[in-house]
Chain A
Amino acid sequence: AQSVTQPDIHITVSEGASLELRCNYSYGATPYLFWYVQSPGQGLQLLLKYFSGDTLVQGIKGFEAEFKRSQSSFNLRKPSVHWSDAAEYFCAVESTSYDKVIFGPGTSLSVIP
């Protein structure tokens, strides 16, 4: 069965510092991968997605992610974090069993001014 792990439950970075959030997936074929962000009290918003092609994908708000098949990873990065980036981040993979999206447990990001 497909699954997603996010090893870091919580990360704290200083404003202006770089960020990398880790994501590993278990999947039998080429996956469709996503990163979503959830701000407090709000629903989830798509940051970026990978379907095929270039393994480095660009998203909204200055985020990017790199798909590495050999490591079964899809890590999210941002070169310079802003205070408004503080939120919960979810990595997700699309299941082939019936088109459902499976989410990881999330990484909570805090930003120090």
Chain B
Amino acid sequence: ETGVTQSPTHLIKTRGQQVTLRCSSQSGHNTVSWYQQALGQGPQFIFQYYREEENGRGNFPPRFSGLQFPNYSSELNVNALELDDSALYLCASSSSTGNTGELFFGEGSRLTVL
């Protein structure tokens, strides 16, 4: 069973640039959630995708957008990067829209915005 994989693991961008982060969900999982974890804080929910549709969104501006593909992998795109976007971005997959079960997390993509 392949776990959740994220790429890249680390990246550095400058303010105003755009970034795309990628996530491959665990085999058999059709739901992907993205979280932002700033240093020393808990993960904050960005949005969730189920069967290629956005299924809920946290308190993040529209410059945070996402995609889910037919194979259930997902991308997180952030436009017009700001310094406060520096964080660990975590992807989690699960087996249904009802998260009454376990979220399986990847190891994250650490984004630094200079």
Contact in complex: B99, A100 (CB < 8 Å): yes
- Chain B residues touching A, range: 20 to 34
Contact in complex: B97, A99 (CB < 8 Å): yes
Given contacts A43-B90, A90-B43, A106-B42, contact A99 B48 (CB under 8 A): yes
- Chain A residues touching B, range: 20 to 34
Q: Tell me the nearest residue of chain A to B4, going by C-beta.
A: A43
Contact in complex: B42, A43 (CB < 8 Å): no
Contacts of B44 in A (CB 8 A): 103
Given contacts A101-B45, A105-B41, contact A94 B99 (CB under 8 A): yes
Q: Tell me the nearest residue of chain B to A51, going by C-beta.
A: B100
* CB of A7, distance to nearest CB on chain B (Å): 14
Footprint of A on B, CB under 8 Å? 4, 33, 35, 40-45, 48, 55-56, 58, 90, 92, 97-103, 105-108
Footprint of B on A, CB under 8 Å? 4, 32, 36, 41-46, 49, 51, 90, 94, 97-106
